[in-house]
Amino acid sequence: MGAETATLENSRQATSTRPPLQGARAMLGRPGAGIFIFLVVLLIVMGFWSPVILGTGNLIGILNQMVFILIPTFGLTLVIIAGGLDLSVGSVLGLTGGIAAYLIAHGTSMPVAFAGAILCGAAIGLVNGLVITRLRVPDFVATLAMLGVVRGALYVWTHAVPIRNYMSKPYFVIGGLRMVLWKVSVPLMVALVLLLILAFILRRTHYGVHLRATGSNPDAAKLSGINPDQVKVVTYIASGVLAAITGILLAGRLTTVHPDMGSGYELNAIAAAVMGGAALSGGRGSFYGALIGAVTLTVIQNAINILNIDPNWEHVIIGAIILFAVLIDRGALALAGRQASAH
């Protein structure tokens, strides 16, 4: 049973804050290692097919484009590690982007508008967390309901009319339409900073240990003095905030907020998180894995573009990769496990 091995693996990691590095093979046990190898192979094959794909400009383009999937994937990775699931991120992303755009269009200063959007994202996350932990509504059901409520609220509020006329010079920079540092967009920088912070929290802080413990075994976590409900609520708030940050950035990127902005992003983000080694059974996941998952999804879209493949293949390929990513991850884990037991 893959899920059980994964949980064991993680409880082992959870007990020692710093897992000892045992060479290259031990790295295989890390979530996302399998998909990383897959990504490298994919890039090499693509490179032979069309060298344009491996050009610096194109690679940075892929990274700049991937951000809008990556940041919600961070949120989902957090929630999934704690043993939950958040289907509402796509809707939250749309609503908060709309709020930021609307406030700016109506004369609010940019920082205040952004703060408003982020607060709204946090509030929605808080409601998700409380409904799930206090009212004991299953994660899937609660966030599915929130998906509908938030998307509906955005449509009712805007009367399905897109929000425009909020772009300004700094917002072009924030949305990544104008670069300040070589070809690296501001959204990409934001994502990388978030990656470092989140990876640090997961690996080096008490909260990170509590998070993995909660996801691996909430009862055991409770007995060892952790408040699993509190840990979970925090992950939902974080997921809401990360969705709001994405909404703000995406509003800048698209220069118009359509009321269906971000719909369906939750499934892409879940796919990226899982490709990155997050286990829906909880306790296992990694932010670097999330990065690799999001890059893989975007590389595929990019390759379809550049290689002139019928764009209708996109869903077929992504579906197949979701199915096989888990197997690749498990294969890598099995290799690492064999190595560990040999010691």
Partner 1 sequence: MSISSQPEISVNTNPGRRAVSVRKLLEIEGATVFAALILLVAFSSAFAPGFLSPGNLTNVLVQSVFVVILGIGMTFVLVAGGIDLSVGSTMGLAAALTIYSINHAIPVPLAILIGLASGAAVGLFNSYFIMVLKMADFIVTLGTLSLVRGIVELMTANSRLTTQSEAFGFLTGGTILGVPMAVLLAAAVVVGGGLTLAKTAMGRRTYAVGLNAASSYLAGVRVRRVRVGVYVASGTLAALAGILLGSRLSSAHPALGTGYELTAIAAAAIGGTSLAGGRGSVLGTILGALLLGVLQNSLSLLQVNAFWFQIITGLMIVAAVLLDGAIRRMLRARPSQ
Q: Which residue has the tokens 């290692």?
A: 33
Asked if 327 is part of the footprint of partner 1 (rule: CB under 8 A), the reply reads yes
212, amino acid identity: R
Stretch that binds partner 1, among 24-32, 209-217, 245-253, 309-317 (CB under 8 A): 309-317
Query: How far is CA 273 from each of CA 4, 70, 78, 255, rounded to the nearest angstrom?
Result: 19, 9, 9, 28
Q: Is residue 37 at the binding interface for partner 1, with CB under 8 A as the rule?
A: no
Alpha-carbon gap, residue 93 to 241, rounded angstroms: 9
The half-sphere exposure of 174 on its side-chain side, counting CA atoms within 13 A, is 21
Convert 325-342 to b/e letters by CB count within 10 Å (16 or more is b): bbebbbebbeebbebeee
Judged by CB under 8 A, the stretch of 19-27, 64-72, 145-153, 184-192 that binds partner 1 is 145-153
Rule CB under 8 A: say whether 62 interacts with partner 1.
Answer: no
Smallest distance, partner 1 to C-beta of residue 23, A? 29
**Which one among 55, 148, 161, 200 touches partner 1, defined by CB under 8 A?**
148
Using CB under 8 A, pick the residue from 56, 308, 310, 342 that binds partner 1.
310
Contact 80, 282 (CB under 8 A): yes
Q: Which of 15, 76, 53, 108 lies closest to 290, judged by CA?
A: 76
CB closer to partner 1, 187 vs 240: 240
16 binds partner 1 (CB under 8 A): no
Residue 44 sits in the site that holds partner 1 (CB under 8 A): no
| Cα separations in angstroms, 196 against 189, 203, 215, 227 | 11, 11, 22, 25
Under the binding rule (CB under 8 A), the answer on residue 313 touching partner 1 is yes
Only segment of 47-55, 105-113, 148-156, 187-195 that touches partner 1 (CB under 8 A):
148-156
Contact region for partner 1 (CB under 8 A) — 223-231, 244-252, 286-294, 318-326?
318-326
The pair of structure tokens assigned to 116 is 């408003």
Query: Does 119 contact partner 1 by CB under 8 A?
Result: no
The interface with partner 1 within residues 261-300 (CB under 8 A) comprises 267, 270-271, 274, 279-281
Q: Does 156 contact partner 1 by CB under 8 A?
A: yes
Binding mask 159-188 for partner 1 (x = CB under 8 A): xx----------------------------
Strand partners, 189: none
Evaluate whether 31 touches 277 at the Cβ level (below 8 Å).
yes
Half-sphere exposure of 136 (CA within 13 A, CB side): 0
- Binding flag, residue 303, partner 1 (CB under 8 A): no
| CA dist., res. 6 & res. 13, Å (int) | 11
Among 315, 341, 342, 343, binds partner 1 (CB under 8 A): 315
Residue 254, both tokens: 């698209």
The span of 52-60, 144-152, 167-175, 193-201 binding partner 1 (CB under 8 A) equals: 144-152
Question: Toward partner 1, which CB reaches closer, 44 or 327?
Answer: 327
Minimum CB separation of residue 24 from partner 1 in Å reads: 26
Among residues 38, 53, 151, 243, which is the contact residue for partner 1, using CB under 8 A? 151
Kindly write down the DSSP assignment for every residue of 180-248, as one continuous string: SBTTB-HHHHHHHHHHHHHHHHHHHSHHHHHHHHHHH-HHHHHHTT--HHHHHHHHHHHHHHHHHHHHH
> Scanning residues 67 to 96, which ones bind partner 1 (CB under 8 A)?
85
Question: Which chain residues interact with partner 1 by CB under 8 A?
Answer: 1-3, 85, 131, 135-138, 140-142, 144-149, 151-153, 155-156, 159-160, 267, 270-271, 274, 279-281, 310, 312-320, 322-323, 326-327
